[in-house]
């Protein structure tokens, strides 16, 4: 069964405990600033565009989605798919199959969750360097090129684009070894929006007839 797996494409970048390598101090200062800014938010709600390109740069698909974050909890919504995480359990709901896959969030695995994406996940597992600045509309965007130290990864580059003024991530592009490129661009963001813990738990009563696949 085909499904767009957001958690694998972006947040499923895994991390291994590898000794730190020398990195660009300018890029590190920018990444540290993003991490520090994110930690000041009690919640984050963002809209984004997700696009897939082939090795020739031809766009294969584009989707819009939303993400809500509160500490280690998150909820991601695409057309036809929703991912819920209460910090302990992950529910991945596929609307076309009316099926939800339930798994345990393994913090020790080093998987990058949405909250970790904005924290200092980069220090041990990537070589990173500043790629310069450019204007995107009224924004000044700083681009950082990141290369995984572990060459067995399924991707070989990650490009982070950061809004210089707000110190928030504007877009993330992941280049897979097979040639595909996945890009997530933030279209809107609100912070410190009231959110209840129930928003991050899959409530099967709202999905009549849903089939549960429990992998815990």
Domain boundaries, the chain: 6-187
Which pLDDT value is given to residue 111?
52
Q: Say which CATH topology domain 6-187 has.
A: outer membrane lipoprotein receptor (LolB), chain A (2.50.20)
Alpha carbon 81 to chain centroid distance? 15
Residue 159: pLDDT above 60? yes
Percent of the chain with pLDDT over 70: 81
| 5-38: pLDDT as tens digits | 444 334 333 322 222 335 789 998 998 888 888 8
The lowest-confidence range among 17-31, 160-174, 176-190 is 17-31
Q: What number of other Cβ atoms are within 10 A of residue 44's Cβ?
A: 21
The average confidence (pLDDT) of the chain is 83
Q: Are residues 127 and 146 in contact, defined by beta-carbon separation less than 8 angstroms?
A: yes
Which pLDDT value is given to residue 110?
44
Q: CA angle, 124 as apex, 184 and 177 as ends, to 5°? A: 50
């Amino acid at each position: 069964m085909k499904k767009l797996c957001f958690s694998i494409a972006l947040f499923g970048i895994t991390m291994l405990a590898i000794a730190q390598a020398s990195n660009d101090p300018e890029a590190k200062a920018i990444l540290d600033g993003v991490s520090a800014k994110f930690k000041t938010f009690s919640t984050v709600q963002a809209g984004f565009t997700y696009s897939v390109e082939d090795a020739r740069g031809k766009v294969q698909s584009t989707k819009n989605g939303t993400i809500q974050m509160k500490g280690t909890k998150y909820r991601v919504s695409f057309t036809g798919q929703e991912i819920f995480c209460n910090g302990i359990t992950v529910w991945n709901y596929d609307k076309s199959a009316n099926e939800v896959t339930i798994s345990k969030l393994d913090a020790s695995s080093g998987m990058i969750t949405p909250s970790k994406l904005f924290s200092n996940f980069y220090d041990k597992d990537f070589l990173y360097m500043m790629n310069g600045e450019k204007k995107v509309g009224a924004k000044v965007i700083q681009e950082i090129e990141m290369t995984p130290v572990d060459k067995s990864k399924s991707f070989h580059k990650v490009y982070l684009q950061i809004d210089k003024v707000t110190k928030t991530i504007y877009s993330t592009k992941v280049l897979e070894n097979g040639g595909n490129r996945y890009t997530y661009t933030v279209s809107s963001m609100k912070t410190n929006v009231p959110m209840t813990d129930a928003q991050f738990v899959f409530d099967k009563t709202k999905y009549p007839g849903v089939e549960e696949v429990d992998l815990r």
